[in-house]
Chain A
Amino acid sequence: MSQLIPAIGFGLITASILAIAAVGFTLQFSVTNILNLAYGDIMTACAFAAYVANQAGVNIWICLVIASLFGAVFSFLLNRLVYFQFVRRGTKLFGMIIVTIAMSLIIQNVLLAIFRPTFFSYHASQGPSYTFGSMVFTASQLAIIGIAALAMLAVHLLSTRTKLGKAMRATATNPGLARSCGVATDRVIDAAWLVSGALCGIAGVAVVLNTATFSEGTGATFLVPIIAAAVLGGIGQPYGAMLGAITIGLASEIAASVINPSYKDVVAFGILIVVLLVRPQGILSEVAAAKEVAA
């Protein structure tokens, strides 16, 4: 029990990072219908963009903004220059998955060629530690949790209070109908790539602040829990991704604490399997069901 409360605190940090990444991932999929498996590598590219700025003496929190902008532009261009060309030619969901895997490998190898096979760290202090009961957080971890909460709030406000958000939801649910109702779906899709890319950039830097070091393959190793969180919540559902991230984050930390660290993923993914057996469409379901991508 003495280990459980701190583990919940640690789980919140993991969940915050996962939530930023998973919401971006699922938003991208729901609006564009592309399951972008290069997402983890774009996170890495954003982490490198922040690294370059950080090495030039820029404060890490400004670097996070730079990474977010970089992620937005990178994702937008990736869609316009690569993915959209395939979509236009009628490539279907599974064909697009292969294209995204190819892009994942290309991005990873380009990063490898530019930065060489080694590890990198930011010049960034974790700041002082704060204790809440038996939970311990550094200032930087509290900042990550705060950024995640703000990002989730921003996504909520965007999707419920703005025209763009409503257009995104309409496009996600039925792009044909949305188009015939006067929604400029191409522009909405561009906006979705920009927003999800920005979240991807934030997640890339948050991951590195958590792991303290990174290489060209770091983002790809986080893709599985990101997808797991998105699928658990009901793929295409930003709120579901938040719930999925909290479930995976807490489960893995609690498992590492009270069972065996080797099995932290086993427990987290065991929960995923059980939930999907009961609710194949995930916790929140409508987009997954509409797109027929329920597990």
Chain B
Amino acid sequence: MNDRRAKSGARISLAVAALVTLAACGSNAPSATPKTYTGTLTFASFNPFTGPDASFGPEMAAGCIPAAHLINQAGGVLGHQVQCITVDTRGDPADAVPAAQKMIATTQNLVGMNGPSSDEALATVPIINRAQIPMFGDTGQAAFDKSTYDYFWRLTPADDAAGIAMAIYAYRKGFRKGAAVFGNDLSSQGNVPNLLAAFNKLGGKIVLNQSIALDKGSYRSEVQTLIGANPDVIFTEASPQTNAAYLSQLQQLHGMIPVIGTQPTVQPPWIKAVGGAIGKANLAHYFAAAQPFAPSQGPSWDVYNKALLASGADVPQPDQWSQDPYTETDFDAIVIMALAMIMANTPDPAFYNKFISKVVADTPGAVEVHSYQEGKDALGAGKTIHYVGAGGPISMDAYHNSSGAFEMVGYTAAGDFPQVDTVSAADIAKYKT
């Protein structure tokens, strides 16, 4: 009896051991030695390329492509050439989740990525993190302010910080009655809570908080409600077509009211749509927007801009992204990942991921580098490096976030975005709830 029990116990133990072994094989625990890679390494731009936020994708790809060109010109990474691919999330979690799964399952030598955006971040970050792919999100969602995902990194401030910058600027300009008119998508709505709280805290009053459906033919009833609320400034972010229809119908029914937008409202498609709808002169007169402060000057930006402008064969109208902070930081992300691979001596993400913060850390004795080539040379000479990005200095916190100040930009009929004000990181912190 005891013997049979012992045999049965042994069988159960063996079965459990087999199951545990199988489970371990199926898990994503890093192995002790890095994977071996042959051929070209791939970086993905994982963002909406179609749908209401279709402008996000080209903005991101415009950062990856020149970075890849520079890395390849410098001899590649550890003997590998690199390439950029685009993965369309359509700005919808329902499409983004299968797109992420397909990207992970089928992309050969996928070693890192830019994205996701706010539209699909909550749904896809856990999947990508589980696959151990380092991702530089351009999501502004506050949920990632204290991210615990090891492979999630962010070089741009959260949307809620943009909302505060908009409120501070509006108050400085003397506006006291604000209307929040935001698209009912996740990305746009991320700005709203802190905008409302900060504007009220500053002493202003939000007279209308309107969440509008995207890409409808008519917003006249919404505009009529806005006119009834009598605001002296409109805070907004919505898709280009939505804002174009809304503001042109405001112009028809009442006349323009000053508008303060978020960073997506300085993207070329938004400017083209809204400028075409209300006229560039009106846009120049009534419009300002908050965007993460990127100096758009200095040696790192020079490297970026030169490579960007030389990428015309792959990036349509590359000059439109020259001063775009998101494109600049998307460029930086690729360079940082490539330098981290050199530091780790492997392109295996499970090994190089922890070197990402070391690439940008301003440690004593570190050599300041402004390009992949400079970083590669310094690492080759056995030095510690401190990469300063095209988007400015980077300082990663414990949650893999690097945030900073905001600049307020206007618009000129000639198509420029002059800086009209800055809102410091300290000011933003003061009004953050």
Binding site for B on A (CB under 8 A): 2-3, 6-7, 10, 13-14, 17, 116-121, 126, 129, 136, 138, 207, 210-215, 217-218, 221-222, 252-254, 256-257, 260-262, 264-265
Is B224 a contact of A120 with CB atoms below 8 Å?
Answer: no
Binds A, one of B35-43, B77-85, B215-223, B381-389: B215-223
| Interface membership of chain B positions 89-106, coded 1 if the CB is closer than 8 angstroms to chain A and 0 otherwise | 000000000000000000
Q: Could you tell me the distance between the alpha carbons of A278 and B249 in the complex, rounded to whole angstroms?
A: 36
Instruction: Report whether B220 and A253 are in contact in the complex, using a CB–CB cutoff of 8 Å.
Output: yes
Interface contact B218-A210, CB-CB below 8 Å: yes
One of A2, A120, A217, A261 near B211 (C-beta < 8 A) = A261
Binds A, one of B125-133, B270-278, B335-343: B270-278
Given A210-B217, A215-B241, A222-B217, do A261 and B222 touch, yes or no (CB 8 Å)? yes
CA distance A252 to B277 in the complex (A): 23
Interface string of B180-221 (1 = CB under 8 A from A): 000010000000000000000000000000111101111111
1/0 per residue B270-294: CB within 8 Å of A?
A: 0011101110000000000000000
Given contacts A117-B58, A121-B276, A136-B253, contact A262 B211 (CB under 8 A): yes
CA distance A6 to B253 in the complex (A): 11
For this complex, 6 residue pairs linking A to B, each with C-beta atoms less than 8 Å apart, are A7-B220, A118-B269, A138-B252, A210-B217, A257-B221, A257-B222
Residue B225 interfacial (CB < 8 Å): yes
Contact between A214 and B218, CB atoms less than 8 A apart: no
> Among residues 239 to 279 in chain B, which have CB atoms less than 8 Å away from a CB atom of chain A?
240-241, 244-245, 248-249, 252-253, 268-269, 272-274, 276-278
Check B58–A121 contact: CB distance below 8 A: no
Determine if A10 and B218 form an interchain contact, defined as CB atoms under 8 angstroms apart: yes
The answer to the question of B54 belonging to the interface, with a C-beta cut-off of 8 Å to chain A, is yes
Could you tell me which B residues sit within 8 Å of A by CB distance?
Answer: 50, 54-55, 58, 184, 210-213, 215-222, 224-225, 228, 240-241, 244-245, 248-249, 252-253, 268-269, 272-274, 276-278, 316
Which residues from chain B contact A215 at a C-beta distance below 8 Å? Answer: 240-241, 273
Cβ of B240 to closest chain A Cβ, rounded Å:
6
Q: Which residues of B contact A13 (CB under 8 A)?
A: 218, 220
Q: Knowing A120-B276, A212-B245 touch, does A257 contact B269 (C-beta < 8 A)? A: no
Q: Which 4 A-B pairs have the closest CB atoms?
A: A121-B276, A119-B273, A212-B277, A10-B220
Chain A residues with Cβ under 8 A from B210's Cβ? 261
Give Cα A256–Cα B225 distance, bound, in whole angstroms. 9
B272 with A119: CB separation less than 8 A: yes
Tell me, rounded to whole Å, the shortest Cβ–Cβ distance linking A189 to chain B. Answer: 30
State in angstroms the CA–CA spacing of A210 and B244 once bound together.
Answer: 10
A256 adjacent to B221 (CB under 8 Å): yes
Q: How far is the CA of A171 from the CA of B415 in the complex (A)?
A: 56
**Residue pair A14, B211 in contact (C-beta under 8 Å):** no
B252 & A211 in contact (Cβ 8 Å cutoff): no
B276 touches A211 (CB 8 A): no
With both beta carbons as reference points, the residue of chain A lying nearest to B244 in the complex is identified as A213
Beta-carbon contact of B269 and A126 below 8 Å: no
Task: Report chain A residues within 8 Å CB of B221.
Answer: 3, 6-7, 10, 253-254, 256-257, 261, 264
Distance in angstroms from A172 CB to nearest chain B CB is 28
* Alpha-carbon distance between A257 and B213 when the two chains are bound, in angstroms: 13
Chain A residues within an 8 Å CB radius of B278: 212
Report chain B residues within 8 Å CB of A207. 217
Identity of the chain B residue whose Cβ is nearest the Cβ of A17 in the assembled complex: B217
> A222 to B217, alpha carbons, bound, how many Å?
8
Closest to B211 in A: A262
Are B316 and A116 interface neighbours, CB within 8 A? yes
Q: Other than the known A261-B222, A261-B225, what 18 A-B pairs have Cβ atoms closer than 8 Å?
A: A3-B221, A7-B221, A10-B224, A117-B58, A118-B272, A119-B273, A119-B276, A121-B244, A212-B244, A213-B245, A213-B274, A217-B54, A252-B216, A256-B225, A257-B221, A261-B211, A261-B212, A262-B213
Nearest to A214 among chain B residues (CB) is B241
What is the CA–CA distance of A215 and B253 in the complex, to the nearest angstrom?
24
User: In the assembled complex, how far is the CB of residue B251 from the closest CB belonging to chain A, in whole angstroms?
Assistant: 8
Which one of A2, A116, A213, A257 contacts B240 once the chains associate, using CB atoms below 8 Å?
Answer: A213
> CA–CA, A17 to B252, complex, Å?
18
The contact of B224 among A3, A116, A118, A222, by CB within 8 Å, is A3
Closest B residue, CB atoms, query A14 = B218
Q: Which B residues are CB-close (under 8 A) to A6? A: 220-221, 224
CA distance A222 to B213 in the complex (A): 13
Known: A119-B276, A121-B276. A211 touches B225 (CB 8 A): no
**Does B217 contact A217, Cβ atoms closer than 8 Å?**
no
Known contacts A119-B276, A222-B217: does B224 contact A211 (CB below 8 Å)? no
Neighbouring B residues of A254 by C-beta, 8 Å: 221
The answer to whether B225 and A121 have CB atoms under 8 Å apart is no
In the bound assembly, the distance between CA atoms of A123 and B316 in angstroms comes to: 25
A213 touches B213 (CB 8 A): no
B218 touches A212 (CB 8 A): no
Contact A126 B252 (CB under 8 A): yes
Q: Contact: A119 with B218, CB < 8 Å?
A: no
CA separation between A262 and B3, bound complex, in Å? 71
Contact across chains for B241 and A211 when beta carbons are under 8 A apart: yes
Chain B residues within 8 Å of A221, by CB: 215
For residue B228, which residues in chain A have a CB less than 8 angstroms away from its CB? 2-3
**Distance, CA A9 to CA B217, complexed state (A):** 15
Q: Once the chains are docked, how many angstroms separate the CA of A212 from the CA of B211?
A: 21
Q: Which residues of A contact B225 (CB under 8 A)?
A: 3, 256-257, 261
- Across the interface, do A218 and B269 meet the contact criterion of CB distance under 8 Å? no
Is the beta-carbon distance between B213 and A264 smaller than 8 angstroms?
Answer: yes
Closest-by-CB residue of A relative to B274 is A213
Q: Which of A117, A121, A129, A211 has the most CB of B within 10 A?
A: A211
Tell me the smallest distance from the CB of A256 to a CB of chain B, in Å.
4
B252 touches A119 (CB 8 A): no
Chain B CB within 10 A, most for which of A136, A256, A257: A256
| CA gap between A118 and B55 in the complex, in Å | 8
A136 to B241, CA, bound (A): 23
| Contact in complex: B222, A256 (CB < 8 Å) | yes
